[in-house]
A and B are shown apart, each in its own frame.
Chain A
Amino acid sequence: MITTLIYSLTGLILFGMGFFTLIIHSHPLRKILAVNVMSTGVFLILVATAYIPLGEGEIDPVPHAMVLTGIVVSVSVTALALILACRIQETSNSSLPGRKQQGEVPEESIR
């Protein structure tokens, strides 16, 4: 019981931290990372609810399968979101919000 509680509360705190960052930061990369931290928290809660101490019965496979599905979906969402963020920066003239203007390296010199 106490193990489940510790893992669940850790997942909950991760979720809260991610949610806070998602709202106050405007840079897309920070938002993508925040969503990832949030999803990690949710996965932790789900796996923790399926936890059963050793020898007290079988594990509950359904949450495990759901988390496995969720991880794969979150990986593909992250990849697509990163590409979209890069694309926004390439096609827009101004730099992304939440970023200092003067320290910016011109686009051509990077590529």
Chain B
Amino acid sequence: MSRTGKNHKRLDGFQRLLLLFVICMVVLLGYIIWSTPGSKPVLTGAVAQMQEYSGVESPVTAVLLNFRGYDTLLEVMVLLLAVIGTWSLTEAFFPVQRSEISPVQMGAVRLLAPVMCLVAAYLVWQGSHLAGGAFQGGAILGAAGVLMLVTELPALRTIPVLPLRIGLVFGPLFFAGIALICLLFTGDLLGYPKGAGGWLILLIETACAISIGLTLALLFAGGRPDKEFIWKNNP
């Protein structure tokens, strides 16, 4: 049809010029990458040196939640901001249940959702010594939420709004609270007291994983809960 015809359209003058420019840029950048001497990691030594003080064995987790914990704190806030933006723009659209959910789909959700929660918890716990952590666990939790959203479970319509809001801010506030408490006790923002780093990181990761999972699922739902729904629950 017309779409396939459109795809075969020849490029006009400006687009050819742009193509030439992009190719030149890629070639130039490729030459830079090629001529850069073999990567000599500068910070590996520094991280390895401080590893034992971080309280965790995985270097990536140590960087994320201890040495550069400030970045991660702001990153969690970015996720929260995205949900706030989404909620202030549109309402989530839940179609009225037209037919019964097929038993196969229902069975799959019943089997998969608990396993996904278990895997998420395992990933968060694993973050202290191997690859894993709050974001990986949160992504699995979010996927479980998306699975339930696409199944259009009727139970999802009856979730009150307040717990959702509390769940969204729980992780970021917990993280910020720990950061402030550390500021009071040790004088540094997110400067964990000696020996307490390990379990503090695990607590923060657990709280953040729950919030991140909820955030991702709500971003997929694409908007705040129905208005009539809020009225019904907050008369």
Contacts and interface: CB of A to CB of B under 8 A. Distances in A.
Contact of A5 (B34, B47, B75, B85): B34
Contacts, number: 112
Given A68-B64, A76-B219, A23 B18 contact: yes
A56 B90 CA distance: 52
Interface in B179-235: 212, 215-216, 219-220, 222-223
Interface string B49-93: 000000000011011100010011001001101100110011001
Contact of A87 (B44, B64, B89, B93): B89
Given A68-B60, A73-B78, A49 B39 contact: yes
Nearest to A19: B22
Interface string A95-111: 00000100000000001
Contacts of B86: 79-80, 83
Given A12-B29, A61-B60, A76-B79, A52 B15 contact: no
A39 to B, nearest CB: 14
Identify which of B79, B81, B220 gathers the most chain A CB atoms within 10 Å of its CB. B79
Contacts of B71: 65, 69
8 contacts: A23-B18, A52-B41, A61-B59, A73-B78, A76-B79, A80-B86, A100-B2, A100-B3
Interface of A: 1, 4-5, 8-9, 12-13, 15-16, 19-20, 23-24, 45, 49-52, 57-62, 64-65, 68-69, 71-73, 75-77, 79-80, 82-84, 86-87, 100, 111
